[in-house]
Amino acid sequence: MALKTEHMVLNMGPQHPSTHGVLRLELEIEGELVNKVTPHLGYLHRCFEKHAEAMQYNQVVPYTDRLDYLAAIGNNFGYALAVEKLLGIEVPERVEYIRVIMAELQRIASHLVAIGSNGADIGALTPFLYLFRDREHILSIIEETCGARMLYNYIWIGGLSHDIHPDFVRKTKEFCNYFKPTIVELDNLLSYNKIFIERTANIGVLPVDTAINFGSSGPTLRGSGIKFDLRSDDPYSIYDRFDFEIPVGKGLMGTVGDCWDRYYVRIREMEQSLRIIEQAIDHIPDGDVQSAIPKRIKPPKGTVYRRVENPRGELGYFIISDGTVNPFRVKVRAPSFVNLEVLGELCKGYLVADVIAILGSIDIVLGEVDR
């Protein structure tokens, strides 16, 4: 009589010590090799899109903060751009410059969390704390200007909620000078560490056509070698005035598109964000940040789709307006939701410990995935 074998089903339940939030992963494993990964979502669903239909246009902005709560300015930015296109208003130059600087600062802060938790999942607990200490500097700069550290409600439709604090320019420049040696230290401590390379190189290789077919974006896509960044390929706001490079994964430590490449893309993106900030910080023109904010937002009937480059990928807002003060439909194309699909493809044939490393390198935030 032949022995009936089946794959063991291991449940990495909604609460597990790796970060990222409430995500349930069902793994079918054979000993240590993973056969299939099924993510179960919905533990953080808060009906954002339905709420938006009951709010007025400017009241939706605090709700958009809570989608990708680690990169809140990007969410505000995308929504404000979408409604401004619907209304057809132009914002002053000063507003554009400040929006770009804030978005890039937020990009650095979000990547710090992503890299820190990636390292912490793999076992290096110290860089996590060093990076959070650096993130504190960014959060206090933003806190002085708009009053909140994480959910800002800063970028409004037609302008900003507050003008920048008088100390903003000086503190941002100090931060830029402080941060450059920190990246070098992080490289020495984590990126080129042989054990870290062993754990992440050649793991979770995402081939180019799979990445494009699944619709992934952000560092997940750029880690596979494709040079596509919305800030330079479909520029919005004033990104076309700045000179920056787009880092792509080159397979320096293994194959192109492995976890190390995605991690490496994030670190180099932080450097490029610093470059953009340094180019913009000295040229902020004068003006009134609240002059273009409309008193009553009642856009004409129509639809609009506007996308921005969030730290995790392409965040898109599709808004249908029916002429009243409440939007008819707001649909969010969340980058983490689309990137999470790739997990099933990437994990085949690797060990259980690799699933964690791969999940950390895709970098999802459950607020976006479940909305």
Give the interface with another protein as residue ranges (CB under 8 A): 8, 10, 16-18, 32, 55, 58-63, 119-126, 129-130, 133, 136, 143-148, 151, 153, 161-162, 165, 185, 188-190, 192-196, 198-199, 351-354, 356
- CA separation for the pair 170, 58 (Å, rounded): 31
Long-range contacts (CB closer than 8 Å, 24 or more residues apart) made by 243-251? 243/275, 243/279, 244/272, 244/275, 244/276, 245/272, 246/222, 246/272, 247/222, 247/272, 248/222, 248/223, 249/222, 249/223, 249/224, 249/225, 250/225, 251/225
Q: Where in 153-262 does DSSP place strands (E)?
A: 155-156, 159-160
CA-nearest of 155, 157, 160, 161 to 85 is 157
Nearer to another protein, 145 or 339 (CB): 145
Least CB distance to another protein at residue 344 (A): 20
Nearer to another protein, 41 or 124 (CB): 124
Nearer to another protein, 10 or 212 (CB): 10
Q: Which two tokens stand for residue 28?
A: 């079918």
CA-nearest of 253, 111, 122, 134 to 185 is 134
| Beta carbons within 10 angstroms of residue 308's beta carbon | 24
Least CB distance to another protein at residue 164 (A): 11
Nearer to another protein, 66 or 275 (CB): 66
Nearer to another protein, 148 or 246 (CB): 148
Least CB distance to another protein at residue 245 (A): 27
- CA separation for the pair 315, 102 (Å, rounded): 17
Nearer to another protein, 342 or 356 (CB): 356
In the chain the first and final C-alpha atoms are separated, in Å, by: 51
Least CB distance to another protein at residue 65 (A): 8
Q: Contact at 8 Å (CB) between 319 and 327?
A: yes
Least CB distance to another protein at residue 152 (A): 9
Helix (H) or strand (E) holding 127: helix 126-146
Nearer to another protein, 57 or 244 (CB): 57
Nearer to another protein, 119 or 311 (CB): 119
- CA separation for the pair 51, 60 (Å, rounded): 8
Least CB distance to another protein at residue 352 (A): 7
Task: Check residue 163 and report its DSSP letter.
Answer: P
Nearer to another protein, 246 or 267 (CB): 267
Least CB distance to another protein at residue 46 (A): 12
Q: Which two tokens stand for residue 329?
A: 């439909």
Least CB distance to another protein at residue 89 (A): 18
Least CB distance to another protein at residue 68 (A): 16
- CA separation for the pair 172, 155 (Å, rounded): 19
- CA separation for the pair 261, 290 (Å, rounded): 42
